[in-house]
């Protein structure tokens, strides 16, 4: 579990994207887990989430410290196996029963929770878990309780995620993105890693606007879809920055990774073949800059975005449908 203080600076983006925070524990999810434990007649329940590399308990009920470690080991094994939870009859016979005190957990059953943003990999956000100190079977009452908990938790996360996103594009709203980016900027300064900021804009946007709002909205959605499917890590995020621009934040991405990501997005939109009334298809131009760790203290995300905006114009005026990487220290 994350134990740092000052959660406004330390909540990782992959946790924020699920509508959660690292600390303190979520009271609504805690209440749902208490109801799950009561319905399943079990002493322990947990919501374990992951981005495929890191793990975090979003909420727990009734677990002691050593039982928390056992639950984490069992959940990791279940997630990595991709074949459902291990046999529930006796968790102590599991190949990874827990780091310490695992004999107290004799029963473990879980169901996957899926992310509220389709297309993000991995699609599984974590597990809803029920644990017991005695050997049990997966009786119908417990299975029904787990299924109901999945529906309730996924619905809650979806509602929270919807509130963070701009409705036309499906990308993060600017206010949500700004708060997230400011925290990530400070985290990168402490961790001494770079951040890539990328700005996307539709080519011939004025002509698209003349075709009508529906045509412009359709093109914006397609650009956002290409961006969301082209970024590969949970910490990478896409924002509807204003009426015409999307902005991406890619923590820990160097110039090679930035160029590759921009090209995937450009090619992704081109592959969608969104038609234009005047002929041809919708395209975009992208400009990106890698802000090295040593330069982070001299700026912020907002300043970097505003500095990159003018660099889009030459790319679009020279034909568009291209990506530009700005060297460090410029533009």
| 222 and 97 inside one domain | no
Find out whether 149 and 127 touch, Cβ atoms under 8 Å.
no
Query: How many structural domains compose the chain?
Result: 2
* Any domain includes 169: no
* Any domain includes 261: yes
Residue 227: which of 290, 170, 312, 168 has the closest Cα? 170
| 153 and 183 inside one domain | no
SS3 145: helix
Q: Is the pLDDT of residue 35 over 60?
A: yes
Q: Give the 3-state secondary structure percentages of the chain, helix then strand then coil, rounded to 5.
A: 45, 20, 35
Question: What's the whole-number mean pLDDT along residues 261-279?
Answer: 89
- Which tens digits make up the pLDDT trace of 86-125? 444 445 544 333 333 445 788 999 999 988 765 555 678 8
* Any domain includes 90: yes
Distance between CA atoms of residues 290 and 329, nearest Å: 9
User: Which two tokens mark 260?
Assistant: 């590759």
Supply the pLDDT for residue 103: 53
| 88 and 134 inside one domain | yes
CA 104 to chain centre: 34
| 185 and 300 inside one domain | yes
Domain end position, chosen among 164, 190, 223: 164
SS3 175: helix
* Any domain includes 331: no
| 180 and 317 inside one domain | yes
| 208 and 243 inside one domain | yes
| 57 and 151 inside one domain | yes
Distance between CA atoms of residues 123 and 203, nearest Å: 32
Supply the pLDDT for residue 5: 31
| 205 and 305 inside one domain | yes
* Any domain includes 121: yes
Domain end position, chosen among 111, 140, 164: 164
| 159 and 179 inside one domain | no
Distance between CA atoms of residues 88 and 143, nearest Å: 11
Question: What's the whole-number mean pLDDT along residues 28-42?
Answer: 91
Distance between CA atoms of residues 242 and 324, nearest Å: 20
Residue 135: which of 117, 154, 112, 109 has the closest Cα? 109
- Which tens digits make up the pLDDT trace of 207-266? 888 888 888 999 999 999 999 888 867 678 899 999 889 999 999 999 999 999 999 999
Q: Is the pLDDT of residue 276 over 90?
A: no
Q: Compute the residue count for the chain.
A: 331
Residue 16, domain CATH: 3.30.450.40
**C-alpha distances in Å from residue 324, one per residue of 68, 77, 137, 199:** 48, 42, 59, 10
Report angle CA 203, 206, 212 to the nearest 5 degrees.
110
Q: Per-residue b/e over 111-136, b at no fewer than 16 CB within 10 Å?
A: bbbbbbbeebeeebbbbbbbbbbeeb
* Any domain includes 204: yes
- Is residue 8 packed enough to be buried (19+ CB in 10 Å), middle (13-18) or exposed (0-12)? exposed
The pTM score is 0.61
Supply the pLDDT for residue 87: 45
| 187 and 309 inside one domain | yes
| 102 and 145 inside one domain | yes
Residue 183, domain CATH: 3.30.70.270
Structural domain boundaries enclosing 132 = 7-164
* Any domain includes 39: yes
| 11 and 147 inside one domain | yes
Domain end position, chosen among 164, 192, 216: 164
CA 170 to chain centre: 13
* Any domain includes 25: yes
């Amino acid at each position: 579990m994350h134990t740092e203080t000052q959660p406004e600076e330390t909540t990782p983006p992959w946790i924020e994207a699920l509508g959660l925070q690292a600390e303190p524990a979520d009271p609504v999810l805690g209440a749902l887990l208490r109801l799950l434990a009561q319905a399943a007649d079990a002493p322990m329940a947990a919501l374990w989430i992951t981005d495929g590399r890191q793990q975090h308990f979003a909420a727990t009920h009734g677990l002691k410290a050593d039982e928390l470690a056992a639950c984490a080991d069992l959940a990791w094994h279940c997630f990595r196996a991709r074949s459902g939870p291990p046999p529930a009859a006796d968790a102590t016979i599991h190949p990874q029963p827990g780091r310490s005190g695992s004999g107290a957990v004799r029963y473990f059953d879980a169901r996957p929770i899926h992310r509220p943003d389709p297309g993000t990999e991995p699609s599984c956000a974590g597990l809803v878990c029920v644990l017991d100190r005695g050997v049990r079977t997966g009786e119908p009452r417990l299975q029904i309780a787990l299924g109901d908990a999945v529906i309730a938790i996924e619905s809650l996360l979806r509602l929270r995620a919807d509130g963070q996103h701009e409705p036309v594009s499906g990308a993060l709203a600017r206010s949500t993105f700004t708060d997230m980016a400011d925290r990530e900027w400070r985290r990168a300064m402490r961790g001494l890693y770079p951040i890539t900021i990328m700005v996307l804009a539709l080519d011939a946007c004025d002509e698209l606007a003349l075709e009508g709002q529906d045509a412009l909205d359709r093109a914006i959605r397609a650009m956002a879809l290409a961006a969301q499917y082209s970024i590969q890590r949970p910490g990478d995020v896409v924002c509807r920055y204003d009426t015409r621009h999307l902005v991406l934040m890619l923590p820990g991405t160097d110039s090679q990774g930035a160029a590759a990501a921009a090209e995937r997005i450009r090619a992704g939109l081109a592959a969608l073949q969104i038609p234009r009334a005047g002929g041809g298809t919708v395209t975009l131009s992208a400009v990106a800059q890698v802000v090295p760790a040593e330069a982070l203290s001299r700026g912020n995300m907002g300043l970097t975005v505003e500095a990159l905006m003018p660099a889009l114009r030459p790319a679009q005026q020279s034909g568009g449908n291209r990506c530009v990487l700005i060297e460090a220290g410029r533009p």
